[in-house]
Amino acid sequence: MFQVDIISMENKPVGKVELPNDIFGVAVKKGILHEVVRNYLANQRQGTAVTKTRGKVSGGGRKPYRQKGTGRARAGSNRSPLWKGGGTVFGPVKRDYSYKLPKKVKWTALGAALSSKFSDGEILVVKDFSLEKPKTRELVTLLKGLGLKNVLIILPAEDETIKRAARNVPNVKIGVVGKLNVYEILFHEKLLFTQKAVEKMKEVYL
């Protein structure tokens, strides 16, 4: 077990909490992290880019001009890719870029990402994190007091008030135990756990 300080919203130590080795002390394998991040980004792609081939472009119902005697190259359709307004050759087509990875790979990568953040000293644990109203200004003030700008706030459960307050703040994202992903963990400079979130991590991931 690793021990880290628990801080208050005023950024003062108020106790300590233990982080389990099986989550925050895993060997960091960069290859697995790369593969899981690549998988996450691929799954986010819409794959809706599409162009029309010569068979889908309108027009081209008759031969543009006679075969011989014009001095021009023979042509059978004005929808040829060689012509302006013609079809596209080998253009993008609608496709699904997503693919699946084994659960074991995802779990290993999640532990590696959290362990990497812990070893770099980029994990903070706060006693509690709550807002009375979904006010962005209040959230920014709280984070400024903790010295945080680029942060993933990890809560034990969904909190609509905090989520609404954070949606317009750049580089601030709300995460929930049980729904964490490697990309978000690595993207943000700091991870801010609540004490209850750490306890929930032990229940969910061990």
Rounded Cα distance between 127 and 105, Å, is 32
Residue that has been written with the tokens 């389990």 in this structure: 20
CATH of residue 119: 3.40.1370.10
Instruction: Sort 83 into a burial class: Cβ within 10 Å, 0-12 / 13-18 / 19+.
Output: middle
- Residues 168, 152: one domain? yes
State the alpha helices, DSSP H only, in 19-149: 21-24, 30-44, 103-119, 136-145
153 forms beta bridges with 174, 192
Residue 174: its H or E element: strand 172-176
DSSP 6: E
| Below-50 pLDDT ranges, the chain | none
**Model pLDDT, residue 35:** 96
Q: Which domain holds residue 179?
A: 2-45+99-205
The structural domain count of the chain equals 2
**Model pLDDT, residue 130:** 87
- Residues 30, 108: one domain? yes
**Model pLDDT, residue 205:** 82
> Has this prediction a pTM greater than 0.95?
no
- Residues 34, 74: one domain? no
- Residues 59, 21: one domain? no
Per the CB < 8 A criterion, the answer to whether 84 and 41 are in contact is no
**Model pLDDT, residue 162:** 94
- Residues 152, 105: one domain? yes
- Residues 128, 148: one domain? yes
Rounded Cα distance between 147 and 183, Å, is 23
